[in-house]
Amino acid sequence: MTSRERVLAALEHREPDRVPVDLWLTAEAYRNLRSYLGMPVKETYPPGSTTWSMDCRAELDLVERLGVDIVRIGSRPPGGKGLTWLPDGTCVDEWGVRRRKVEFKTGTYLEIIDPPLKDATIEDLNDYPWPDPHDPAVVEGLREQARFIRENTPYAIHAQFGRGGIYEQAKYLRGEEQLYMDCAMNPEFVLALHEKLCQIEMEFNRVGIEAIGEYVDILRLSPEDLGTQTSTQLSPRMHEEMVRPFFKRSFGEAKRLLQEKNPRGKIQYHSCGAIYPLMRGLIDDGMDIFDPLQLRCKDFEPARLKADFGSDITFLGGIDVQQTLPLGTPAEVREEVRVRIKEMAPGGGYILASSHRLQPDIPPANVLAMYEAAKEYGKYPIKL
C-alpha cells in the first residue's frame, strides 16, 4: 500500500495496512529535528500555513525519513513577499496585522500588537486594504509542485489555501478581547466583518482549487479556534448566530468545488480547544476531517469522540503537545501512541499526529518515539 492509498483508506473509513501519520511543526522544531537526525539544516524552510505562524512545511527528505504519509503544500501570500519587517523590529502580514517578536526559553513567537480594526466601524470595512486572492503570487509554482509530488512520490497531498479564516482572522484584525465584546454588544459589526472575511476565505479556496484541485486529497480550510481549554469561546447560541452561517457557506462551497475536481477529496477543519458541543454542527456543515484532537480539553476524551463522531469523520492528531511530548519520556510517548491507536484506529478514520504543531520545547527523541511507536502499534488489524 502506498502512503496515499493508506491515507485514502483511512479517510474512507476502511482499515489500511497501518495507521497513517502526519507531520506539522514550527520552523524551530523543524530545525531541531533535522539537526538531531543529522540532516542539512538551513535558516529558512518552506513557509507554513499562514504568513505569520512561524511553522514550516516539511520537505520530502524528512517526510521520507520519518515515514510520514502526507505532504503539506499551500498558497503563498499575495505579493509573494510574506512579512514586511519595519525598522522598529515589528512586522506586518498581508492583512495589515502587526506583530512583534516575543522570546521564550526555546524560541520566538510573533504576537499581535495594535490590531488594525480595533476602532473600525462597519463603513470602514469597505475601505480596508484586504489581501487579494487573485494576486498571481498566491498560486505561483503550485501546480508544478503538486504534479511533481503526485507523479514522483507515494504521498497524499494536503493543501491549505485560506490565509487566515473568518472568525479567527476577525480576532486578529479586531483584537481578541474586543471581538468578544463585539459579539456581546455589537453583533452587527461582527456579522459585517465575518461576511467580508468569509468572501475572502472562499475566494482563496476557489483560486487554489482551480489551480490544483485534482491533486488535492485533503483540503485544509483556514484554522479557526473556537475553544478554550475548558469550554467553547462563544456560547453555542452565539456561535450559531455569528459564526456558523459563514462556516456553513465556506465549508459547503469548498467541498463542492474540490469534489468537482477530485470526487474523493476531503475537507479538513482545525480548531483548538474544548468544542464538543459544536462538533455535530461542523460535521453537518461538511467537515470530513477534524484536527488536532486536543485530548486534554474538557469533554474531549478520544474514546468518547470516536464513539460519538467516529463513523462520520476522520480525526487527525491526538498525541499530546501540552504534556506528554514536551515533558514526557520516550517510553511515555510510546504508551500514549499505543493507547491512542487502540482508541481511535479501529475501522480507519484516524491519522496519527501531534495534537498541535510540534513546538520547539519537544525533544526530537520524543518525536522519533512517536513515529516509531505509530508504525509498531499501528498495524491493522489493531490488536492492542
Partner 1 sequence: MEILREIERAVIDGKVRDIEGVVQKALDTGLEAHSILDGALAVGMLEVGRRFREGEYFLPEVVSSANAMKKAIKLLEPYLAGKTAREPVGKMVIGTVKGDVHDIGKNLVAIMFQGAGFEVLDLGVDVKPDRFVQAISELGPDVVGMSALLSTTMVSITDTIEAIKASGLRSQVKIIIGGAPVTQEFADRVGADGYAPDAASAVEKARELLRLDA
Footprint of partner 1 (CB under 8 A): 102-107, 109, 111, 176-177, 180-181, 183-185, 228-235, 238, 296, 321-323, 326-327, 359-361
Indicate the residue among 222 and 294 with the shorter CB distance to partner 1. 294
Q: How far apart are CA 267 and CA 29, in angstroms?
A: 27
Residue 375 C-alpha from the chain's centroid: 23
Q: Quick check: 16 and 371 in contact, CB under 8 A?
A: no
Q: Shortest Cβ distance from residue 114 to partner 1 (Å)? A: 13
Indicate the residue among 107 and 154 with the shorter CB distance to partner 1. 107
Indicate the residue among 76 and 239 with the shorter CB distance to partner 1. 239
Q: Shortest Cβ distance from residue 123 to partner 1 (Å)? A: 20
Smallest CA-to-CA distance from 25 within 50, 52, 54, 4 is with: 54
Q: Shortest Cβ distance from residue 350 to partner 1 (Å)? A: 23
Indicate the residue among 182 and 288 with the shorter CB distance to partner 1. 182
Indicate the residue among 307 and 327 with the shorter CB distance to partner 1. 327
Q: Quick check: 111 and 102 in contact, CB under 8 A?
A: yes
Q: How far apart are CA 252 and CA 217, in angstroms?
A: 17
In 68-167, beta strands by DSSP E: 70-74, 84-85, 91-92, 98-104, 107-113, 156-160
Indicate the residue among 89 and 129 with the shorter CB distance to partner 1. 89
Q: Shortest Cβ distance from residue 104 to partner 1 (Å)? A: 3
Q: Shortest Cβ distance from residue 296 to partner 1 (Å)? A: 8
Indicate the residue among 102 and 384 with the shorter CB distance to partner 1. 102
Q: How far apart are CA 284 and CA 101, in angstroms?
A: 39
Q: How far apart are CA 224 and CA 269, in angstroms?
A: 8
Q: Shortest Cβ distance from residue 377 to partner 1 (Å)? A: 24
Q: How far apart are CA 102 and CA 112, in angstroms?
A: 10
H-helix or E-strand spanning residue 316: strand 314-319
Q: Shortest Cβ distance from residue 321 to partner 1 (Å)? A: 6
Q: Quick check: 365 and 36 in contact, CB under 8 A?
A: yes
Q: How far apart are CA 324 and CA 346, in angstroms?
A: 23
Within 8 A by CB and 6+ apart from 59, the residues are 45, 46
The grid coordinates of residue 77 equal 501570500
Q: Shortest Cβ distance from residue 24 to partner 1 (Å)? A: 15
Indicate the residue among 18 and 31 with the shorter CB distance to partner 1. 31
Indicate the residue among 144 and 177 with the shorter CB distance to partner 1. 177
3-state class (DSSP) for residue 99: strand
Q: Shortest Cβ distance from residue 261 to partner 1 (Å)? A: 38
Q: Shortest Cβ distance from residue 225 to partner 1 (Å)? A: 11
Indicate the residue among 153 and 322 with the shorter CB distance to partner 1. 322
Give CA separation, 229 vs 162, 165, 169, 184, in Å: 25, 21, 20, 21
Task: End-to-end CA distance of the chain: give it in Å, rounded.
Answer: 22
